[in-house]
């Protein structure tokens, strides 16, 4: 009885709110029609000022802390204000009934090429791979296509943030962490310079995957690659030493400008982490040693044979971003399921893991990689953490991202089922308190051609 | 070399026709014995040796008389009269065997390796130039051979006196020759020329056929073309009235003896599926087929039993590249090479499949090692011996001339200290076509 | 000594490689699967049923069945038993993909190059796949004949071939045959066709030639059998290329056409009408959702990816709704992998269709009975029904769930993949090594 009353009250409130919203929208359209986007989506970004929002009657999976079977999330501006089961609704809050839905924190893709690659086979639309081998100076953020068709698709699968990284060469460039919403690339930034990406050689004797695109046989050894890195790091240190000395003492000539040394400086100073893509067990052990000797803040990526040296990685305290599980075991001897069991074994050994799509066009599949690992031994809750709070922790943004906790950015996904499940549909997504548009290339084209059917 | 081969194909009609007539003449006289050199050869009497004639039981103490390149007499000591003109060779402590036959080699064949591009520009131009076709059914391997004394010596020391030299490149590789390793004079070495057409399931680079299925289709089409060409030719020669003259085609001309007249066709079979592919072609075109390579014959014994096609089985035990053992890492591959593939000849023997053994793809030293491995894996030494002598001779159609020590046959024999195939055994004397080669270690 | 050697090396190796035959020596096509959640696909699920297999054929489905003595019994309590997954578009188990030198090569036959040792066969089995349509590539307008294989890992190639399947011929259109994503090497001319117009022109040209070829043979037969055959009568030359195309025109072969954009599908349908040949399915068909009416009218199905898209221009409008929407419109849809990796998670790919509008049952059909229909083998496989061949897969959870895992794959009553067995062997091997 009471519930019903509340419900109808809410309904009334919603009506009032919507009327106001529609009026406002109409107003702004009248006075500032040019603000409207070309395809008529005013919800997608920017203008709407987030107010106070209450999502009620919703199952809450905060990821950190216990699940709430039916509760309320209160959002104020861009932050989560409160999460609980018996919360009082603040006056004037926009109320969203989450009946039948589950609220999750938005997912974070640990490594992607979102916004850098549009159509992989068309060079004009590919921006993730610079020529040459040593490219610490290139920054993913500076090429990011904010209106990539892949971003709304990833978003409509519950992904709200992603590491965007370049690849290729030995030093591929500087990756960035962005939210999947914004009217320009800069509006999307969460952490502009996230980590330097270093690609170490693949596994010796590895078979080539589909169409020869797999890791394949390494052209150089990890020893050689690490030696080269060490040399570059030393050069950068020397460069800095001379520059500082010259700044202090006019008599000392400063060194000529050296781009590579300049951009590697934050790395050798231990300020900017390095994402090392590592593969073979023996190589991983070498890289651990290298990282410790060079005092570099390291994050491992791909880590296909990590399960063989999980204890070593755990002891070194290096977190791992799991590469795409849409791949074959690098060598037969690892067993057919080696990529699938790898995350579970790493996690059990105490390694902090995060999943990645390692893709742009398949970025939306991030949750499925996590689910696959669950099928092969990873704990279900840990899998969920590995697409939310763990990547947030790995990238040092767990104060604002990765869980539904008061004080964090209101990145909330309302799903009609398990977040990692294939058939689950995402009904609403909020990024920093604003509801984002879930229409995308898929839905637009479907709608367009459905009209043909409906005309008959 | 390439240019020369191309020339062969594009010879003006009459020249090629003349050449062809010669070839046909040679073919129509099987086993033609080329005139021996005029110098007078000694008559030899090998006495007091142990003899393994292969054709019958061993003779513990026997005598072999060799005259004018042939075995004149053979038998237990005392039963054979030593001719008065004979040079007597005291062979006590030695064992005589028929000379071994390697029914599949690329001996003396100088194949120029395709030059590897050195610079990116060369690489690009190599790629942008479609490779030249490597299909020459009319290629006669005999024309490319350069016998070398050292090679002959090293083959003698392994026990070989007769070899088939097969061409080595392309799909329709060309025609092989059978040689006796009696010296360096090619014409004197020839036993049969040409012997067989050799076909390999390989591909071209950048031109048709560039895939294995393309190669199979290509071979079938050429066989069909040959049948049609032959029919057309025969009809035309029977009556040219109201019939368009067949256009001369050297490719198809070269195939007629093998496709129509059923001279032997040897298919190189590098894995079990190659064997099946070859058997399908042999059946479809009713060829006189022989399979070479076949180190995976053990996997297809059912097919081989049905087809009754003889095999030239190599004792190269490396698993084929497409084989599963080659895809599971180095440890599994090595194990398969050491423990599974050496059983191939033993399996074939058990299944009564007609085969000769060859060392195709192997050096002389690994040949012996691998024969020993095959024996360890269950092949009786006598069977190995037979597969390298009498059985080889039979597959080559030379059972009347070679393969056993019997009076009247070609005097190809080897004398060893120790049992043949035993580890420390040495071949100390070799007689080929009655010519004696001494390999006794001087120091001993 | 030798016996020992056999025991320590040969037998483990042989059993590793030819696991299936060794395993099934006992059963040889006889099997009882107890208490599974049976998903027949053509009927509603049965919770807790037994499936009895005799000589590779499903004999009985029901509660508490008793097997003949000596039958292997598999306890499948709580597990999902589904028909073996069928992948309608792969290139696995072959020693070759493209005869890409000529624009048309219908004379080649993939059945000539089956490689039973391809590890991808095992890979596919680990994902519950029991049958694949393994095809010529898309490098040219008319590729070659394809072949349907059962993935009897460890068996000889001829035992894998499914002779009852429709014989099919690969066609390809669009960017691959135009070679538009290929860097031209200096000095090498672009191959004809370089446009979609050219591709169609070539097909028409070759089919016209095939008609002439058939006519030439007909004329020859007539003259040969006439009262006074003309002097100098010669049969036409047997041309394997045209023989294949003649078979297509005679209706003995079905076309499987790789096509992405709506226009090329519409035009290929017209070609089929013009020449009267049959199309078994369009491959990839990324824009099928734009021409559902045309596909329905022609009765042609599609074999598609669920969402692998945007890898080239013609795949830029490939929407993940394609399979679901086309199914809802009544088109016969199967999901394919076209990959020796994706093949082992084809069930996940089908499962994604649930998000885009299908029920889990409809989604599962796309990789079982629908696929069987597109290959012309739905009377033999594709569902769990009495009398059908016992090609089955056992899953830990609902096969359309992201959390599921294939536990066992069975072909004609023989177990070809058994995860528990592999785990056991792995443990034994680790124990021999003295643990990790």
Q: What is the pLDDT of residues B296-331, one digit of tens each?
A: 999 999 999 999 999 999 999 999 988 888 888 888
pLDDT for A216: 39
Write down the pTM of the prediction: 0.90
pLDDT for B125: 56
DSSP state of B125: H
Q: Do both A179 and A69 map to the same domain?
A: no
pLDDT at B55 exceeding the cut of 70 = yes
CA angle, B18 then B20 then B21, to 5°: 65
Distance (Å, rounded) from C-alpha A45 to C-alpha A231? 45
pLDDT at A343 exceeding the cut of 60 = yes
pLDDT for B294: 98
Chain A residues 198-257 with CB within 8 Å of chain B: 205, 207
Q: Do both A293 and A370 map to the same domain?
A: yes
pLDDT for B109: 83
Q: Which residues of C touch B228 (CB under 8 A)?
A: 235, 237-238
Q: What average pLDDT does range A380-409 have in this prediction?
A: 98
Q: Do both A98 and A136 map to the same domain?
A: no
The mean of the pLDDT values for chain C is: 93
> Which range is least confidently modeled, B143-147, C201-205, C370-374, C408-412?
B143-147
pLDDT at A81 exceeding the cut of 60 = yes
DSSP letters for B9-37: HH--HHHHHHHHHHHHHHHTSTTPPPPPP
pLDDT for B116: 54
Measure in Å the smallest separation between the Cα of A391 and chain C Cα atoms: 21
Indicate yes or no: CB of B327 within 8 angstroms of CB of A205.
Answer: no
Identify which has the larger pLDDT, C78 or B41.
C78
Q: What is the pLDDT of residues B237-271, one digit of tens each?
A: 999 999 999 999 999 999 999 999 999 999 999 99
Q: For residue A237, with 0-12 CB atoms within 10 Å meaning exposed, 13-18 middle and 19 or more buried, which class applies?
A: middle
pLDDT at A35 exceeding the cut of 50 = no
The alpha carbon of B315 is separated from its chain's Cα centroid by a whole number of angstroms, namely: 14
Measure in Å the smallest separation between the Cα of C415 and chain A Cα atoms: 17
Q: Which residues of C touch A376 (CB under 8 A)?
A: 405
Q: Do both A126 and A95 map to the same domain?
A: no
Which residue range forms the structural domain that includes residue A305? 107-399
Q: What average pLDDT does range C184-206 have in this prediction?
A: 89
Candidates C122, C292, C316; nearest CB to A119: C316
Within chain B, what is the greatest distance between any pair of CA atoms?
A: 79
Indicate yes or no: CB of A332 within 8 angstroms of CB of B331.
Answer: no
pLDDT at A22 exceeding the cut of 50 = no
Q: Is residue A419 part of a domain?
A: no
Chain A residues 7-66 with CB within 8 Å of chain B: none
* Nearest residue to C306 (alpha-carbon basis) of C280, C268, C334: C334
Q: Do both A86 and A229 map to the same domain?
A: no
pLDDT at A209 exceeding the cut of 60 = no
pLDDT for B124: 55
Distance (Å, rounded) from C-alpha A279 to C-alpha A273? 19
pLDDT for A272: 98
pLDDT for A220: 76
List of residues 6+ apart from B144 with CB closer than 8 A: B1, B109, B110, B167
Candidates C5, C17, C240; nearest CB to B217: C240
Question: Hey, what's the torsion of the CAs at B70, B76, B80, B82, to 10 degrees?
Answer: 80
The mean of the pLDDT values for chain A is: 89
Probe site for chain A from B322, B328, B329 (most A CB atoms < 10 A): B329
The mean of the pLDDT values for chain B is: 88
A100–chain B Cβ distance below 8 A for any pair: no
Q: Which residues of C touch A360 (CB under 8 A)?
A: 310
Measure in Å the smallest separation between the Cα of B209 and chain A Cα atoms: 21
Probe site for chain C from A422, A440, A441, A444 (most C CB atoms < 10 A): A422
pLDDT at A206 exceeding the cut of 90 = no
Q: What average pLDDT does range C143-172 have in this prediction?
A: 97
pLDDT-based confidence at residue B235 (cuts at 50, 70, 90): very high
Pair C138, C100: CB distance under 8 Å: no
Q: What is the pLDDT of residues C176-186, one digit of tens each?
A: 999 888 777 77
* Nearest residue to A348 (alpha-carbon basis) of A379, A373, A385: A379
Core vs surface per residue C160-195: b (16+ CB within 10 A) or e: bbbeebbbbbbbbbbbbbbbbeeeeeeeeeebebee
Indicate yes or no: CB of C232 within 8 angstroms of CB of B239.
Answer: yes
Q: Do both A51 and A125 map to the same domain?
A: no
Q: What average pLDDT does range B114-139 have in this prediction?
A: 64
Pair A412, A430: CB distance under 8 Å: yes
DSSP state of A214: S
Probe site for chain A from C94, C260, C314, C341 (most A CB atoms < 10 A): C341
Q: Do both A93 and A218 map to the same domain?
A: no
* Nearest residue to C408 (alpha-carbon basis) of C399, C416, C398, C418: C418
Q: What is the pLDDT of residues C349-378, one digit of tens each?
A: 999 999 999 999 999 999 999 999 999 999
pLDDT-based confidence at residue B6 (cuts at 50, 70, 90): very low
Domain range list for chain C: 84-383
Probe site for chain C from A114, A449, A452 (most C CB atoms < 10 A): A449
C238–chain B Cβ distance below 8 A for any pair: yes
Q: For residue B418, with 0-12 CB atoms within 10 Å meaning exposed, 13-18 middle and 19 or more buried, which class applies?
A: middle
Question: Within 10 A of B14 (CB to CB), how many other CB atoms are there?
Answer: 9
Q: Which residue of A has its CA nearest to B326?
A: A332
List of residues 6+ apart from A9 with CB closer than 8 A: none
pLDDT for A443: 98
Q: Do both A130 and A206 map to the same domain?
A: yes
Q: Do both A339 and A451 map to the same domain?
A: no
Query: What's the total number of domains in chain A?
Result: 2
DSSP-assigned beta bridge partners for residue C281: C256, C301
Identify which has the larger pLDDT, C188 or B218.
B218
pLDDT-based confidence at residue A25 (cuts at 50, 70, 90): very low
A332–chain C Cβ distance below 8 A for any pair: yes
Q: Which residues of B touch A331 (CB under 8 A)?
A: 329
pLDDT for A47: 39
ipTM topping 0.90: yes
pLDDT for B129: 58
DSSP state of B167: -
> Which range is least confidently modeled, A34-38, A223-227, A400-404?
A34-38
Q: What is the pLDDT of residues A230-278, one digit of tens each?
A: 999 999 999 999 999 999 999 999 999 999 999 999 999 999 999 999 9
Candidates A332, A368, A423; nearest CB to C360: A423
Q: Which residues of C touch B331 (CB under 8 A)?
A: none
pLDDT at A17 exceeding the cut of 70 = no
pLDDT at A415 exceeding the cut of 50 = yes
Q: Which residues of C touch B273 (CB under 8 A)?
A: 95, 113-116, 157
List residues in chain B touching A: CB distance below 8 A. Answer: 327-332
pLDDT at B10 exceeding the cut of 90 = no
Instruction: Kindly report, as residue ranges, where domains of CATH 2.30.40.10 are found in chain B.
Output: 32-99+403-444
Measure in Å the smallest separation between the Cα of C358 and chain A Cα atoms: 9
Candidates C96, C188, C230; nearest CB to B211: C96
Q: Which residue of B has its CA nearest to C184?
A: B128
Q: What average pLDDT does range B52-75 have in this prediction?
A: 96
Indicate yes or no: CB of A423 within 8 angstroms of CB of C354.
Answer: yes
Pair A285, A253: CB distance under 8 Å: no
Instruction: Kindly report, as residue ranges, where domains of CATH 3.20.20.140 are found in chain B.
Output: 100-127+134-402
Q: What is the pLDDT of residues C70-88, one digit of tens each?
A: 999 999 999 999 999 999 9
Q: What is the pLDDT of residues A286-304, one digit of tens each?
A: 999 999 999 999 999 999 9
Identify the CATH number of the domain in which residue A353 sits: 3.20.20.140
Q: What average pLDDT does range C377-398 have in this prediction?
A: 98
Class of B100-127+134-402 per CATH? alpha beta
Distance (Å, rounded) from C-alpha C105 to C-alpha C210? 13
pLDDT-based confidence at residue A41 (cuts at 50, 70, 90): very low
Which chains have at least 3 CB atom pairs separated by less than 8 Å from chain A? Answer: B, C
DSSP-assigned beta bridge partners for residue B160: B100
C71–chain A Cβ distance below 8 A for any pair: no
pLDDT-based confidence at residue B272 (cuts at 50, 70, 90): very high
pLDDT for A456: 62
Candidates B207, B212, B228; nearest CB to C101: B207
CATH number for the domain formed by residue range(s) C84-383: 3.20.20.140
- Name the helix (H) or strand (E) containing B142: none
pLDDT at A38 exceeding the cut of 70 = no
Q: Report the percentage of chain A scoring pLDDT > 70.
A: 85
Q: What is the pLDDT of residues B83-126, one digit of tens each?
A: 999 999 999 999 999 999 999 999 988 765 455 555 555 555 55
* Nearest residue to A422 (alpha-carbon basis) of C397, C315, C45, C283: C397
CATH number for the domain formed by residue range(s) B32-99+403-444: 2.30.40.10
pLDDT at A409 exceeding the cut of 90 = yes
pLDDT for B380: 97
Indicate yes or no: CB of B335 within 8 angstroms of CB of C238.
Answer: no
Q: Which residues of A touch B332 (CB under 8 A)?
A: 333
Indicate yes or no: CB of A333 within 8 angstroms of CB of B327.
Answer: no
pLDDT for A210: 30
List of residues 6+ apart from B415 with CB closer than 8 A: B46, B49, B91, B94, B95, B96, B427, B428, B429, B430, B431
Q: Which residues of B touch C186 (CB under 8 A)?
A: 124-125, 128
pLDDT-based confidence at residue A322 (cuts at 50, 70, 90): very high
Q: What average pLDDT does range A370-383 have in this prediction?
A: 98
DSSP-assigned beta bridge partners for residue C284: C259
Measure in Å the smallest separation between the Cα of B329 and chain A Cα atoms: 7
């Amino acid at each position: 009885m009471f519930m019903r009353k509340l419900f109808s009250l809410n309904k009334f409130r919603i009506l009032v709110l919507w009327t106001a919203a529609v009026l406002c929208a109409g107003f702004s359209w009248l006075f500032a029609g040019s603000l409207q986007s070309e395809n008529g989506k005013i919800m997608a970004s920017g203008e709407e000022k987030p107010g106070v929002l209450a999502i009620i009657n919703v199952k809450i999976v905060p990821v950190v802390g216990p699940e709430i079977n039916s509760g309320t999330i209160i959002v104020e501006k861009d932050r989560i204000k409160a999460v609980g089961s018996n919360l009082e609704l603040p006056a004037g809050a926009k109320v969203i009934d989450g009946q039948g839905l589950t609220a999750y924190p938005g997912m974070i893709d640990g490594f992607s090429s979102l916004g850098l690659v549009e159509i992989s086979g068309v060079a004009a639309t590919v921006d993730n791979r610079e020529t040459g081998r040593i490219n610490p100076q290139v920054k993913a953020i500076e090429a990011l296509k904010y209106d990539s068709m892949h971003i709304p698709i990833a978003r409509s699968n519950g992904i709200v943030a992603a590491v965007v990284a370049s690849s290729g060469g030995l030093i591929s460039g500087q990756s960035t962490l962005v939210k999947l919403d914004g009217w320009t690339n800069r509006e999307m930034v969460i952490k502009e310079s996230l980590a330097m990406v270093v690609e170490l050689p693949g596994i010796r004797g590895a078979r080539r995957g589909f169409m020869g695109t797999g890791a394949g046989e390494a052209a150089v050894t990890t020893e050689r690659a690490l030696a080269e890195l060490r040399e570059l790091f030393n050069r950068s240190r020397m460069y800095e030493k001379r520059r500082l000395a010259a700044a202090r003492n006019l008599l000392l000539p400063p060194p000529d400008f050296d781009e590579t040394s300049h951009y590697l400086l934050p790395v050798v100073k231990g300020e900017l982490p390095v994402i090392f893509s590592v593969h073979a067990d023996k190589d991983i052990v070498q890289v651990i040693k290298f990282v410790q000797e060079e005092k570099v803040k390291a994050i491992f990526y791909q880590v296909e044979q990590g399960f063989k040296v999980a204890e070593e990685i755990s002891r070194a305290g290096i977190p791992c971003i799991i590469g795409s599980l849409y791949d074959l075991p690098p060598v037969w001897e690892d067993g057919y399921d080696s990529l699938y069991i790898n995350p579970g074994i790493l996690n059990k050994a105490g390694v902090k893991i995060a999943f990645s799509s390692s893709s742009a066009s398949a970025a939306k599949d991030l949750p499925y990689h996590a689910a696959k690992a669950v099928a092969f031994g990873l704990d279900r809750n840990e899998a969920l953490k590995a697409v939310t709070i763990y990547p947030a922790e790995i990238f040092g943004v767990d104060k604002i991202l990765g869980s539904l906790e008061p004080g964090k950015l209101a990145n909330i996904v309302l799903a009609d089922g398990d977040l990692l499940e294939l058939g689950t549909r995402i009904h609403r997504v909020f990024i920093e308190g604003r509801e984002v548009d879930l229409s995308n290339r898929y839905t637009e084209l479907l709608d367009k051609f459905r009209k043909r059917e409906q005309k008959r | 070399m390439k240019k020369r081969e191309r020339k062969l194909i594009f010879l003006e009609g009459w020249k090629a026709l003349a050449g062809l007539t010669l070839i046909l003449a040679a073919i129509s006289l099987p086993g033609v014995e080329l005139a021996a050199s005029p110098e007078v050869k000694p008559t030899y009497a090998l006495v007091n040796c142990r003899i393994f004639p292969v054709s019958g039981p061993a003779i513990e103490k026997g005598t072999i008389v060799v005259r004018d390149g042939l075995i004149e007499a053979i038998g237990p000591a005392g039963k054979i009269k030593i001719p008065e003109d004979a040079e007597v060779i005291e062979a006590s402590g030695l064992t005589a065997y028929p000379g071994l036959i390697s029914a599949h080699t690329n001996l003396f064949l100088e194949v120029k390796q395709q030059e590897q591009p050195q610079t990116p520009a060369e690489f690009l131009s190599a790629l942008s130039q479609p490779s030249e076709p490597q299909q020459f059914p009319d290629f006669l391997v005999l024309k490319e051979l350069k016998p070398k004394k050292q090679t002959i010596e090293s083959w003698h020391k392994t026990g070989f006196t007769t070899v088939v030299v097969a061409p080595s490149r392309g799909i329709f590789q060309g025609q092989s020759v059978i040689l006796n390793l009696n010296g360096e004079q090619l014409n004197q070495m020839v036993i049969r020329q040409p012997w067989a057409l050799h076909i390999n399931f390989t591909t071209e680079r950048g031109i048709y056929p560039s895939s294995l299925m393309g190669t199979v289709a290509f071979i079938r089409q050429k066989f069909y073309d040959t049948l049609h060409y032959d029919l057309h030719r025969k009809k035309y020669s029977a009556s040219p009235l109201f019939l368009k003259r067949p256009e001369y085609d050297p490719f198809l001309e070269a195939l007629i003896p093998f496709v129509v007249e059923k001279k032997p066709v040897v298919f190189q079979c590098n894995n079990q599926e190659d064997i099946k592919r070859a058997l399908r072609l042999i059946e479809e075109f009713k060829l006189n087929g022989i399979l070479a390579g076949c180190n995976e014959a053990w996997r297809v014994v059912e097919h081989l039993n049905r087809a009754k096609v003889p095999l030239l089985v190599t004792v190269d035990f490396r698993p084929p590249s497409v084989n599963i053992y080659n895809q599971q890492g180095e440890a599994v591959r090595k194990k398969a090479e050491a423990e599974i593939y050496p059983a191939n000849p033993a399996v074939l023997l058990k299944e009564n499949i007609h085969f000769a053994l060859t060392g195709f793809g192997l050096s002389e030293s690994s040949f012996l090692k691998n024969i020993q491995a095959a024996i360890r894996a269950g092949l009786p030494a006598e069977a190995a011996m037979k597969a390298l002598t009498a059985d080889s001779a039979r597959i080559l159609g030379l059972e009347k001339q070679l393969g056993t020590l019997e009076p009247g046959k070609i005097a190809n024999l080897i004398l060893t200290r120790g049992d043949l195939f035993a580890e420390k055994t040495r071949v100390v004397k070799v007689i080929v076509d009655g010519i004696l080669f001494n390999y006794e270690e001087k120091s001993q | 000594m030798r016996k020992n050697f056999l025991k320590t090396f040969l037998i483990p190796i042989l059993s590793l490689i030819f696991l299936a035959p060794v395993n099934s020596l006992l059963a040889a096509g006889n099997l009882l699967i107890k208490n599974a959640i049976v998903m027949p696909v053509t009927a509603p699920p049965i919770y807790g049923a037994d499936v009895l297999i005799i000589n590779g054929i499903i004999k009985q489905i029901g509660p508490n069945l008793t097997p003949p003595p000596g039958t292997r019994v598999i306890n499948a309590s709580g597990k999902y038993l589904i028909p073996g997954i069928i992948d309608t578009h792969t290139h696995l188990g072959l020693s070759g993909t493209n005869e890409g030198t000529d624009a048309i090569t219908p004379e080649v036959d993939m059945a000539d190059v089956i490689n039973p040792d391809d590890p991808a066969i095992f890979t596919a089995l680990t994902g519950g796949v029991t049958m694949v349509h393994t095809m010529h590539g898309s490098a040219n307008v008319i590729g070659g004949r394809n072949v349907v294989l059962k993935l009897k890992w460890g068996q000889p190639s001829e035992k894998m071939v499914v002779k009852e399947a429709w014989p099919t011929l690969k066609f390809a259109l669009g960017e691959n045959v135009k070679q538009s994503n290929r860097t031209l090497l200096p000095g090498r001319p672009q191959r004809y066709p370089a446009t979609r117009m050219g591709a169609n022109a070539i097909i028409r040209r070759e089919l016209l030639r095939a008609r002439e070829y058939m006519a030439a043979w007909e004329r020859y037969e007539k003259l040969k059998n006439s009262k006074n055959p003309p002097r100098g009568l010669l049969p036409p030359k047997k041309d394997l290329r045209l023989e294949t195309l003649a078979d297509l025109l005679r209706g003995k072969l079905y076309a499987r056409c790789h096509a992405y954009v709506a226009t090329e599908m519409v035009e290929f349908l017209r070609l089929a009408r013009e020449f009267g040949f049959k199309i078994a399915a369009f491959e990839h068909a990324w824009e099928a959702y734009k021409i559902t009416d045309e596909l329905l009218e022609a009765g042609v199905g599609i074999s598609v990816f669920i969402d692998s898209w945007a890898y080239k221009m013609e795949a830029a409008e490939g929407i993940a709704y394609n399979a679901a929407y086309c199914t809802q419109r009544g088109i016969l849809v199967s999901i394919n992998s076209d990959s020796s990796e994706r093949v082992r998670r084809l069930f996940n790919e089908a499962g994604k269709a649930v998000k885009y509008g299908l029920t889990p049952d409809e989604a599962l059909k796309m990789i079982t009975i629908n696929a069987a229909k597109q290959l012309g083998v739905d009377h033999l496989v594709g569902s769990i029904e009495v009398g059908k061949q016992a090609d089955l897969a056992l899953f830990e959870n609902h096969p359309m769930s992201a959390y599921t895992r294939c536990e066992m794959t069975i072909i004609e009553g023989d177990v070809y993949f058994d995860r528990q067995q592999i785990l056991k062997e792995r443990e034994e091997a680790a124990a021999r090594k003295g643990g990790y």
